[in-house]
Chains A and B, each alone.
Chain A
Amino acid sequence: MRRVSVAILGVVVVASLALGLAAGTVPLSPGQVWDGLWRGDSSAGVIVRDLRAPRVLLAFAVGGSLAVCGAALQAMIRNPLAEPYLLGLSGGAGLGAVLAIASQATGPWAVPLAAFAGAIAAIALVYRLSLVAGRRLDPRVLLLSGVVVGSFAGALMSAIIVLSPAAGIRNAFLWLLGGFGASSWRSLAVFTAYAALPMATIGLSARHLDLLALGDETAHHLGADVDRTRRTIYICTALLTAASVATCGIIGFVGLVVPHAVRTVARPLHRTLLPLVFIAGGAFLVLSDVVSRTVVRPLELPVGVITALVGVPLFAVLLRRTLA
């Protein structure tokens, strides 16, 4: 049974990555894609190796990370609505990006770096607020702080957009809507190198997450350091989400619904759940990205639009089937 499910997951990973490589704005035959993978000098090679391959891998890594963040936060906050962007991050990142565009910061990495800085600032503020209010990291206070910090950042962002003379500032929203159009081997390397540590830390906290899901008291009696686990999970998920916003903008839905979708099929311990969620999230985002770059070619749609348009009906079906 176990071997069968591992095989199925392997097939899902390979199939989604292969489809991601084969599909795109420019129609290429499977033969051209295969040749392009090994011989990078042809025009198909440039497209497959330098543009599609890093894009597909990055979408997988980001999708997996966001889904794992969602699963960990839902266990930690014991709230099914928990998701990575609820902690004020999207507001902070948006504010950073808009500031960078409004101040006409140039340089190829100005906007992503500013978004990352904004997200980190929002995280720090939310964390500080939660500590002040409850002394220990209270999940409810954490959620509330996230919401208010997000609204505050949103208000500042609107003010800057209205007052700024920069002609293209409205396009800051487009950047935030998310997409993998700017993927490269370098951005993939930066994201994976950065995500490895928080990801591993969440993985190592799997047993504590099982305990936390039972409630603070029980977790405490069973030997979990509730406060410490909560702090660790919060910081790791926040750092991961900030990195993904800086890489590809705000992609909603993956972190919220993929963990729930996986749980409607199986409810294993977090040791098994987290890898499952990672693979499901990764494959889901790769496929959504395929749709986003093929459905109106040669134009692209923001991938966040696709994740919601494809994901919500899918989730509704799953939910009905489980409840029935």
Chain B
Amino acid sequence: MVDDAGDTVQVASVARRIVSLIPATTELLFAIGAGDAVVGRTEWCDYPAAAARVPNLGDGINPNTEAVLASRPDLVILYNSAQNAAIAGRLRSMGIASLRLNTDALSDVGRVGRILGRLTGHVLAADSMAAVFDTALAHATAPPTGRRPTVLLLVWEQPPMTIGRGSFLDELVQRAGGANLFADVVSTAGTVSIEAVAARDPDLILTTSAGPASFADRPEWQAVRAVRQRRFLPVTGSEYNRPSPRAPAAIRALARRLRPAP
């Protein structure tokens, strides 16, 4: 088969020992009933709870080839980044199938789920997971009517950084009935000026930090009305940072919290 990086990969009939170095694919493997085949995961694979029993092979960003080999996998799943090209090639030269996959958008849930279903022999479970997901997603998506509250997606506070159109969080907020304050920005993450935020005057500020919004007390932020009025929308669960079968529920939860906004 051909992976998302465009490499043709020889895959044995059914993978029985899988190292999954993307939290999203770990979650999908468990969702389609292939959790038992997962023999290695990243530090960030926190869902479902059963994933915690799988050995942790590191942060998944710079995979340790030795640790991967030590778990004797017949399939290694890597994120589709340029820096993973080297390890994917090395593993293939040792006869271990390794795929680089994109897991960035809601549309990847069904697509990657089906790929994993084929590789693990859970085709039917993957198909039904994808079908259920599509229906739930359609139901959770807000109709394109009425005024949409504008939301600043503040992914980092100092310097203030936001993510623009096409990002996963942007997709969630849009489907929940909100509008990304910086939908005109295409880059996945960028530093914005407080001046621009003040001028665009968001209805809500979505933050990804667990604690209280510490920037809210800084004097320069008082130029922003939503900060003065403490209209914050903290989201911390991992369902907000990776595409997964939990996304429709996350969208519905987000929609409930967006609605009371003026």
Interface residues of A (CB under 8 A from B): 24-26, 43, 46-47, 50-52, 54, 104, 106-111, 165, 168, 171, 174-175, 179, 181-187, 293, 296-302
Contact = CB atoms under 8 A, between A and B. Distances in A.
Contacts of B182: 298
Interface string B181-211: 0101101001111111011010000000101
A199 B57 CA distance: 53
A181 B199 contact: no
B219 A184 contact: yes
Chain B at the A interface: SS class: mixed
Contacts of B145: none
B156 A171 contact: yes
Contacts of A108: 214-218
B161 interface: yes
Contacts, number: 99
A183 B223 CA distance: 12
Interface in B137-193: 156, 158-161, 182, 184-185, 187, 190-193
Nearest to A168: B156
A257 B184 CA distance: 37
A251 to B, nearest CB: 13
Interface of B: 43, 156, 158-161, 182, 184-185, 187, 190-196, 198-199, 201, 209, 211-212, 214-220, 222-223
10 contacts: A50-B223, A106-B211, A107-B217, A108-B217, A174-B161, A174-B191, A181-B193, A181-B220, A187-B219, A302-B191
A106 B159 contact: no
A25 B214 contact: no
B75 to A, nearest CB: 27
A168 B199 CA distance: 27
Task: Give the interface centre of B43, B158, B159, B219 by most chain A CB atoms within 10 Å.
Answer: B158
Nearest to A101: B158
Contacts of A298: 182, 184-185, 192-193, 196
A51 B160 CA distance: 14
Given A26-B195, A51-B194, A51-B198, A174 B223 contact: no
Nearest to A44: B199
A67 B100 CA distance: 49
A252 B111 CA distance: 47
Contacts of A111: 158
A307 B212 CA distance: 35
A186 B219 contact: yes
Given A298-B185, A299-B185, A46 B223 contact: yes
Task: Give the interface centre of A50, A179, A183 by most chain B CB atoms within 10 Å.
Answer: A50
A108 B185 CA distance: 27
Contacts of A185: 219
A43 B198 contact: yes
Contacts of A302: 191
B195 A47 contact: yes
A220 B199 CA distance: 59
A47 B159 contact: no
Nearest to B155: A168
B196 A182 contact: no
Contacts of A107: 214, 217
Closest 5 CB pairs of A and B: A184-B219, A299-B190, A184-B220, A25-B196, A26-B199
A278 B33 CA distance: 67
A47 B193 CA distance: 11
A301 B159 CA distance: 11
B193 A293 contact: yes
